[in-house]
Structure 1
């Protein structure tokens, strides 16, 4: 049986950062990842100091290469099928190929995933349609854009944010009605709002050119932003009865400890209301790793 100090689920920036910190603390770590990270669809990741514009796969490869210098860190490219309590306060992790791993601590850093209301949006997502202006607004500055947002509050927030990068954009609500007050606030800035349902997104090789509405109207654009809904890709938090508030945010002590003993979280998995940047997730992974190492030190001294 493989026995570890901590199992880390997810080799995104949070999981990689936590693994590096714990590896340097000489903890025996099992890091699992199945290649389904959310940013795999995009061509570059922006805003991470010294790595601005890096390809997501290259970012992960650099991280894994750095981890290889620490013999107590073990990386497994596997899908975790089940996690359950083992003995008193340990966990047993089983992968889809039948292997089992025992760990004292469990760090969930598997992030969140998007759900879109427009069926073929993934044909363009990551190349010309994005969800974060901080990550991709610079590349789309001063261009003719769209914002796809089902909810008025999301549309208003994105419009105010995006307006600093480009003032040439149309908001598409995909069949959802906005209030007169909301539309008026946008129209004061000459921002058009189209409330018809989206019939189709038209473009080539991931680069959008038009949005066809059910009315037959076509809206021209070269890119834009979409506000998706988010969900957690696995049920582990709920399985261990970790406390989650009504907004979908996991309750922690501020240092990654959940309400379930020995279960920690880092990165985007904490809340499904909004995504996080690479640099924030990496910083969170470092912070939570400190908590894990502190708890191990206190328990074993």
Structure 2
């Protein structure tokens, strides 16, 4: 049996795509090993009617709604192989099972690599976050730290400035700011410490102090961390999907990649900001692209 679409990834993009395709009477298999990048997230924000919802609750609601559509089949298993086989795509799971689909939607998301700092994982997702649009409101007007070794440090500082003007920028021993950026931050009253961070201190996930190798320590109540983001699966490269300068998959407005029959949505595109509502919307658009292209095939 060949299904209309195999969706790799059961996050908001993959699930919303499954919903739209199910309502379009398309046969769909969703492969999801339930290892989301936002596993540490306590609440999800910015999604109208679902603001503040816990990720596992959102997931449960999504599965409940999708279950109304009998043509959508959920496969709670990791995919280890994906290749084109004649006029279809062959999907191999870690259990050794093989499935075939006319089209593939990549919603596998990203994996993030945090700066190597003692104690950072204890605070990440509790008082240190990655996206100010997701968690800035909860940290508004507090003394915050921005930890970044990445080239986008200055951009992140400007973004967080909207929620708090009491900022401390830490580059953990890296020089990622230009002299002009240093000068501008100084004019705004923003301290920059390029010394290496030796520890983050606090209680029960609540950050209290940032400790440096040679420059003492500073009190902070929370903040944001810039992590390195990489594609979570190897299939984008193996299939030959084109990537942008940031490493995100390039698509048209309906999720089509440069590879016929392969679509992408969600965080795989590295769209900014990385919000649930944006990922879900991308899944809906990609599903429309899949359905439109399958319909065109049927009229040939």
**Conserved 8 A contact 1:143-1:222:** yes
**Conserved 8 A contact 2:149-2:174:** yes
Residue aligning to 1:173: 171
Matched, 1:100 2:83: no
CA distance in 1, matches of 2:169, 2:215: 17
Name the SS of the counterpart of 2:208 in structure 1. strand
Matched, 1:238 2:237: yes
**Conserved 8 A contact 2:230-2:247:** no
Residue aligning to 1:113: 111
CA distance in 2, matches of 1:4, 1:205: 47
Name the SS of the counterpart of 2:152 in structure 1. helix
Residue aligning to 2:193: 194
CA distance in 1, matches of 2:77, 2:280: 22
216-225 vs 74-83, which moves further: 216-225
Residue aligning to 2:152: 154
94-103 vs 42-51, which moves further: 94-103
Residue aligning to 1:27: 26
Measure how far apart 1:209 and its partner are.
1.5
CA distance in 1, matches of 2:296, 2:178: 56
Matched, 1:217 2:216: yes
1:166-208 alpha-carbon deviations (Å, 9 max, x no partner): 1112110111123332111011111111010111122222222
CA distance in 2, matches of 1:155, 1:259: 31
Measure how far apart 1:253 and its partner are.
2.8
Residue aligning to 2:258: 259
Name the SS of the counterpart of 1:41 in structure 2. coil
**Conserved 8 A contact 2:21-2:287:** yes
Measure how far apart 1:252 and its partner are.
2.3
Residue aligning to 1:7: 6
Change in CA separation of 1:164 and 1:247 when aligned onto 2, cut-off 3 Å:
closer
**Conserved 8 A contact 2:133-2:273:** no
CA distance in 2, matches of 1:246, 1:222: 34
Number of aligned residue pairs: give it. 297
Gaps of 5+ in 2: none
**Conserved 8 A contact 2:195-2:215:** no
Equivalent positions of 1:266-277 (< 5 A) are 266-271=265-270, 274=272, 276-277=274-275
**Conserved 8 A contact 1:84-1:92:** yes
CA distance in 1, matches of 2:225, 2:114: 9
TM-score (structure 2 length as normaliser):
0.94
Name the SS of the counterpart of 1:40 in structure 2. coil
**Conserved 8 A contact 1:23-1:73:** yes
Residue aligning to 1:299: 297
Change in CA separation of 1:155 and 1:247 when aligned onto 2, cut-off 3 Å:
closer
Residue aligning to 2:57: 58
CA distance in 1, matches of 2:103, 2:180: 51
Measure how far apart 1:261 and its partner are.
1.4
Matched, 1:72 2:71: yes
126-135 vs 202-211, which moves further: 202-211
Moved over 6 A (4+): none
**Conserved 8 A contact 1:89-1:261:** no
TM-score (structure 1 length as normaliser):
0.94
CA distance in 2, matches of 1:63, 1:145: 34
1:212-234 alpha-carbon deviations (Å, 9 max, x no partner): 11115112111100111100111
**Conserved 8 A contact 2:82-2:90:** yes
